[in-house]
Amino acid sequence: MANGAPVCGPISTFSRVRILHALFESGTAQIRGTRTIGELCEATGLHPNTVREHLQRLIEGGYVIQATEHRTTRGRPRTLYSAATGTGDASSPIARDKAKAAAQRGDLLRRMLPATASALGRDATYQLDALIEHLEESGFEPVVDDEQLTVDLTPCPHAAGRAEDRPMLCSVHLGLMQGVLAEAGGPLAAEAVRASGLPEECPPLECTVQLRLTEMTAA
């Protein structure tokens, strides 16, 4: 990453990436879309205390939702965890508040620098505000192209990581960006992460996020 700044946010460690990946891929859990601590430990190989610590950080960031199991039989209800996807029961109040705060900061910036305004409309602009703050929190330096609907994330702060870990990392980060855009509400969705290059190459790994307008907006 530029200037040697540390990578932070929801994907600051590969342990968190593995936990988030297990939540995004939780179709085999006992209750679809959710995982227990035990299931996450089994999926990641991490100690329960480590999983709990990372989950708490992810909940505080608005990326994971915690709920209590509704039981119809006797027994202590379990605590269930799911990824905040921004839709239905998987919407995080923390993530919504972060999106509103990002929009307010974006409006302030646009009043001072009118040239920074997007031509995509208010709702899409607020989505980009939330997405940019999420990316900056995650250690990226995003450059948005309103016309091509792309976000350039080069240089990627994760370029020096193991090549075999990159597919999971990109998949998780795409899911996080989709959740951020959904929580903000609007016509934009994250469609794909395009990455190329090798960790030892210079310049570092090239990384671009492709956005798209929903069919409803296009119509």
Token readout for 29 is 């859990």
Token readout for 69 is 């199991």
Helix 122-137 with 93-112: angle, nearest 10 deg = 110
Query: Would you say 172 and 11 are in contact if contact means Cβ atoms under 8 Å apart?
Result: yes
pLDDT value of position 7:
47
Please choose, from the candidates 66, 59, 71, the residue with its C-alpha nearest in 3D space to the C-alpha of residue 16. Answer: 59
Share of the chain above pLDDT 70, in %: 84
Share of the chain above pLDDT 90, in %: 58
Give residue 138's domain range: 2-218
Mean pLDDT to the nearest integer, 188-197: 86
Distance CA 95, CA 195 (A): 27
CB atoms closer than 10 angstroms to residue 201: 11
Phi/psi of residue 107, nearest 5 degrees: -60, -40
Query: Would you say 106 and 126 are in contact if contact means Cβ atoms under 8 Å apart?
Result: yes
Number of domains forming the structure of the chain:
1
Confidence category of residue 72, pLDDT binned at 50, 70, 90: low
Q: What's the chain's average pLDDT?
A: 85
Can you give the pTM of this predicted structure? Answer: 0.85
pLDDT value of position 30:
40
Kindly report which listed range (52-56, 109-113, 204-208) carries the lowest average pLDDT score: 204-208
Indicate which CATH number applies to the domain containing 9. 1.10.10.10
Query: Would you say 63 and 57 are in contact if contact means Cβ atoms under 8 Å apart?
Result: no
pLDDT in tens, 159-187: 777 778 888 999 999 999 999 999 999 99
